[in-house]
Amino acid sequence: MNLAEFAIRQRVFVVFFTVLATIAGIYSYFDLGKLEDPSFTVKTAVVVTLYPGASASEVEQLVTDTVETKLQEMGSLKTLRSLSKPGVSMIFVDLVSELPSDALPQQWDLLRRKVTDIKLLLPPEAQISVVQDEFSEVYGMLFAIHSQDAPSHQLKDYAKELQRRLKAVSGIKKIELHGVQNRVVHIDISDERIAESGLSAAQVINQLNSQNMPLDSGSFKMGIERLRVAQTGAFTDIEDIKNVMIKSGVGQLSTGLIRLGDISDIYYDYQKPALTQSRYNGEPAITLAVSPVNGINVVSLGDELTQIINDFQAELPVGVNISTIAFQPEEVHDSITTFINNLLESIAIVVVVLMLFMGWQSALIVGASLLLTILSTLIFMNFAGIDLQRVSVGSFILALGMLVDNAIVIADMFSSKLKQGKARLAAATESVGETALPLLGATLIAIMGASPVIFSTTDASEFAISVVQILASSMLLSWVIAMTFTPLMCWLFIKTPEQSDESKPSKFKTVFTRVITWTINNPKRTIASAALAVALTLVIAPLVKVNFIPTSDREMVFLDYWLPNGSQTEQASKDMLVIEKWLIERPEVESIASYIGASAPRFSVTVEPEPLDSSYGQILINTHDFQSIETLVSEGNQWLAQHFPQAQPRFRALKLATKDKFSIEVRYSGPDPKVLHELSSQAQQVLQQHPNTRYVRDDWRQESKVLVPIINQEKARLAGVNRADISLAIKRATDGFTVGQLRQEDTLLPIIMRSPNSSIDDMGDIPVRSLLGVHSVPLSHVVDGFEVRGEQSMLWRRDRVPTLTVQAGVHGETIGKVRNQISAQIEAIALPPGYTMEWGGEYADEQEAIDDILLQTPKAFLIMVIILVALFGAFKQPLIILTTVPLAAIGVCWSLLLLDKPFGFMALVGAIALSGMIIKNGIVLADQIELERQNGKSLDDAILDATLNRTMAITMGALTTALGMIPLLSDLLFDQMAATIIGGLVVATALTLLLMPALYKVSFNSQSTTTSQEQLNEQA
């Protein structure tokens, strides 16, 4: 009993199971997690070590290199990227792409142990190391609480309350606040007042700390209880600090008690300079970055969050507003809705095509099989945890034509069997019996066509993995449904045609029969013509544009803004305020969110945040539509160049599956920074001369200025002061230093003592006193002078080697073409011994992904060959089928050229998957030829009859696949894949129907002649 016979005899069960699968599929659609784009794991963590007071070079030598040496012991390490800046070391730890995502926690634990082990080898002042293994955390929703009038600390209170409410929602994993202005307590006390009071810095520090330090006062026994003794007297507000009584003088020379508020100005203020700032549409703001739990339906989650935000907005005072910067649920809803509409359009196209060529009964049966396959695949997705997102829904559209292939073959063969006079049960069982194994083999081969993406481990492959998951699951389910549900529907609804229904062959069939007959009679000419067509295609192939991964079509663009290295945060904020006003007035702009001192929270996995930098800012620009971005960027570049010539601004699009910061990057590595800067200068000259490059710069940027007091050690010793006293005096005159903390509910406010009205002009007059002494000496008496020097304050390294990266953006042309045009000049730059050059940016990601895909392709090809040989038990038929695969290149090249689509990673995935489709068609035709030969027909007749018999099934499968992908031609991600498959499949299918008969004739002609001669001998 084959599957068709089982389905017909157990039709009640099959119908019941079909209804059950339909209900479960509909439920799964609503239950599935919904995302805008598929996520991929960023296998990167950051180790941050603070080394206050050290220069970038000292940080590099004493901290960064020591930590990197230890981290290189990690077996799963891919690359170490480090940035050494004055006072801070940042090491980016990139793990190998082959590492499974579920193994990351173990690797991050190992990383922490390595960092803990190395702490004793670091300088005593550099013992604060933080491992950020959530560096890749994605915050899909960004909200801004903003106001022009409300104080920053009130905005912080509102933000914390909203954070508390949102965090209570099921499905929220993490919420962070960005742009918070931290309050401090300033004690401004002039040096003259300190001298008059006979105070020392140590007295102020010690008495403030002891007054506010939490101490355990013990407990007393009382009966059966023990009473804890509580403390009082800690600072609760600023008046407590003002009322602190400080004992002046030293030892026996004490002059009495002095109220701190009488000799100093004590007040609340905000940290200056601010570490980071945030604004929304030009108003001071605090950003709430919300990260949902993985695999959740963010559309439903968004409704609940919106309600909470609306309720909280109603409670806020007038002038304080909550606005949305990025809202993943809305983007997901729009993206999924668009793709579902495309899917429905594709299904409609497939059904209409089937009706035109197969009749309404067969078309409805195949259409019902297709719908059941899609619903069954949704059930699989729900069990496997595959979310509905751009790639998975697009994969359905990609698979549509292939999903009807098996059902078309069964329906077509069932109808043919009925025309031959077979009973309906026999027609169903024979149709399945003859095609089940070949169709299963063909289905497995079609799946293998996309399997290199499964074997690959790059970010781009992980981004596209759902293509293979959907193709594999849906195609296997389509085979099961075609072997059970489809023959049952045929048995129920397709009636035996009457003999009178037979009509004369159509004109098309007559012409097609003549063409096939000619190819059988002239096989060598046919093969030569096909070879010539492939050769001509190879000539035009270089004309196809190349673009690895397209940008996102989201209505958003970034504006990065760099002032010269070492610039003030206040100046960056002032400049960006001017830019914000210009942007708000633009008709293309809907809203903007600005971040000064740091980049925006990571709301997309493809955006790697910039390190903290006082001279840097970023603006997230939401536009009304995607098409207006180009105009905004073009006019924005001209306006910025005119108004901020000293800065390095650049607009940046949101990428889909790569994390490169610049389109073109050239990395120079070697020991001497001067040589690296010389190489960078030469490379930048080449890039600046190209008409399609812009934003040319390097990541070490300019030298920053540093003021260096030249300490006279002999004078300092005679004055009773040392290097630490001088540093403390300068610190108090500039930023001030922390002398304690004021507790206010759940917040600790730093208490900072500083000297008011200090400036660089009167730096020589700064009084320097020892920590315990009360006498002072002017700074100019213990230094020989002051020098302003240049220092390299950003030192990047890769794998412990200093590495400077030259960077550039591309406009008006594909990145690959521009890189190819300048590559010869860049690579011609002479490198001194010990220095290396390598390409980074999109090219590095492209090479890694494509090389890995091509490396995995032989595995898939080997599996295909094994299946082919197993199906036919011979080598000739597999060889004939594989020979037809290069025919697809003809259609691919011309389709990409005519539709003006580039060839990139998704096109490569489509081309590999296309090979499986072509081989599947070849199997269907070759299997039918072998059936005809086994029935005793001559070689020519077997080839002709099989080709005519299988033309309908093969062309219908190819046509439905190609036409069903038309809606994807307008999608930025799938357009190149759609063009590749449409052109390649149509041309390859047409040529396969002509070339395979010729190849069969050439391959089996001698065998046929020998067989015929043997038959004549037997008759004689």
pLDDT of residue 259: 85
Computed from CA positions of residues 476, 480, 482, 483, in that sequence, does the dihedral angle turn out positive or negative? Answer: positive
Q: What is the tens place of the pLDDT at every residue in 63-116?
A: 999 999 999 999 899 999 999 999 999 999 999 888 887 888 899 999 999 998
* Domain-terminating residue out of 135, 163, 179: 135
pLDDT of residue 541: 86
Residues 900 and 787 in one domain: no
In a domain, 145, yes or no: no
Q: What is the tens place of the pLDDT at every residue in 386-418?
A: 888 877 877 777 777 678 888 888 888 888 888
**Alpha-carbon distance 1020 to 1010, whole Å?**
15
pLDDT of residue 957: 77
Position 549 confidence tier, pLDDT thresholds 50, 70, 90: confident
Calculate the average pLDDT of the chain: 86
Residues 886 and 1001 in one domain: yes
The percentage of residues in the chain with a pLDDT greater than 70, rounded to a whole number, is: 95
pLDDT of residue 975: 87
Q: What is the tens place of the pLDDT at every residue in 452-490?
A: 777 777 766 777 788 888 888 998 999 999 999 999 999
Q: Provide the residue range defining the domain that includes 84.
A: 43-135
In a domain, 69, yes or no: yes
Q: Which residues pair with 91 in a beta bridge?
A: 47, 82
pLDDT of residue 261: 86
In a domain, 647, yes or no: no
Q: Are 346 and 401 in contact (CB under 8 A)?
A: no
Mean pLDDT for 301-325 is 93
pLDDT of residue 306: 92
pLDDT of residue 469: 86
Residues 490 and 525 in one domain: no
Q: Are 845 and 460 in contact (CB under 8 A)?
A: yes
Q: Is the peptide bond before 832 cis (omega within 30 degrees of 0)?
A: no
Q: Which tokens sit at 84? A: 């050494």
Q: How many CB atoms lie within 10 A of CB 247?
A: 14
**SS3 labels along 369-394:** HHHHHHHHHHHHHHHHCCCECHHHHH
In a domain, 654, yes or no: no
Stronger pLDDT, 1016 or 345, i.e. the higher one: 345
Q: What is the tens place of the pLDDT at every residue in 204-221?
A: 777 777 777 777 788 888
- The separation between CA 309 and the C-alpha centre of its own chain, rounded to angstroms, equals 28
Residues 400 and 421 in one domain: yes
Residues 1000 and 878 in one domain: yes
**Alpha-carbon distance 591 to 203, whole Å?**
52
- Output the pTM of the full model: 0.82
The percentage of residues in the chain with a pLDDT greater than 90, rounded to a whole number, is: 32
Does residue 1013 carry a pLDDT above 60?
A: no
Stronger pLDDT, 236 or 186, i.e. the higher one: 186
pLDDT of residue 685: 94
Q: What is the tens place of the pLDDT at every residue in 36-65?
A: 777 667 788 899 999 988 999 999 999 999
**Alpha-carbon distance 327 to 325, whole Å?**
7
Provide the CATH number for the domain around residue 370.
Answer: 1.20.1640.10
Residues 197 and 125 in one domain: no
DSSP character at residue 903:
B
Does residue 308 carry a pLDDT above 90?
A: yes
Computed from CA positions of residues 392, 906, 923, 925, in that sequence, does the dihedral angle turn out positive or negative? Answer: positive
pLDDT of residue 460: 67
**Alpha-carbon distance 329 to 331, whole Å?**
5
In a domain, 983, yes or no: yes
Q: What is the tens place of the pLDDT at every residue in 883-917?
A: 888 888 899 999 999 988 888 878 887 888 888 88
In a domain, 539, yes or no: yes
Mean pLDDT for 311-324 is 94
In a domain, 958, yes or no: yes
Q: What is the tens place of the pLDDT at every residue in 760-785?
A: 888 888 888 876 666 788 888 888 88
Work out the burial of residue 709: count CB atoms within 10 Å of its CB; fewer than 13 is exposed, 13-18 middle, 19 or more buried. buried
Mean pLDDT for 588-599 is 93
* Domain-terminating residue out of 135, 151, 178: 135
Q: Are 81 and 94 in contact (CB under 8 A)?
A: yes
Provide the CATH number for the domain around residue 73.
Answer: 3.30.70.1430
Q: What is the tens place of the pLDDT at every residue in 659-702?
A: 667 889 999 999 999 999 999 999 999 999 999 999 999 999 88
Does residue 759 carry a pLDDT above 70?
A: yes
Residues 917 and 1003 in one domain: yes
**Alpha-carbon distance 912 to 915, whole Å?**
5
Q: Which residues of 44-78 are buried (b: 16+ CB within 10 A; e: fewer)?
A: bbbbbbbbeebbbebbbebbbebbbeebeebebbe
Does residue 1020 carry a pLDDT above 50?
A: no
Per DSSP, helices labelled H in 213-327 are 238-242, 260-263, 298-315
**Alpha-carbon distance 653 to 656, whole Å?**
10
Residues 515 and 534 in one domain: yes
In a domain, 329, yes or no: no
Residues 122 and 198 in one domain: no
**Alpha-carbon distance 721 to 782, whole Å?**
9
* Domain-terminating residue out of 746, 776, 791: 791
> Of 760, 345, 326, 843, whose CA–CA distance to 549 is shortest?
843
Residues 511 and 490 in one domain: no
The secondary structure element, H or E, covering residue 623 is strand 616-623
Position 249 confidence tier, pLDDT thresholds 50, 70, 90: low
**Alpha-carbon distance 928 to 941, whole Å?**
12
Number of alpha carbons in the 13 Å side-chain half-sphere of residue 542: 2
The secondary structure of 314-342 as a DSSP string is HHSPTT-EEEEEEEHHHHHHHHHHHHHHH
Total domains present in the chain = 4
Residues 393 and 369 in one domain: yes
Residues 62 and 124 in one domain: yes
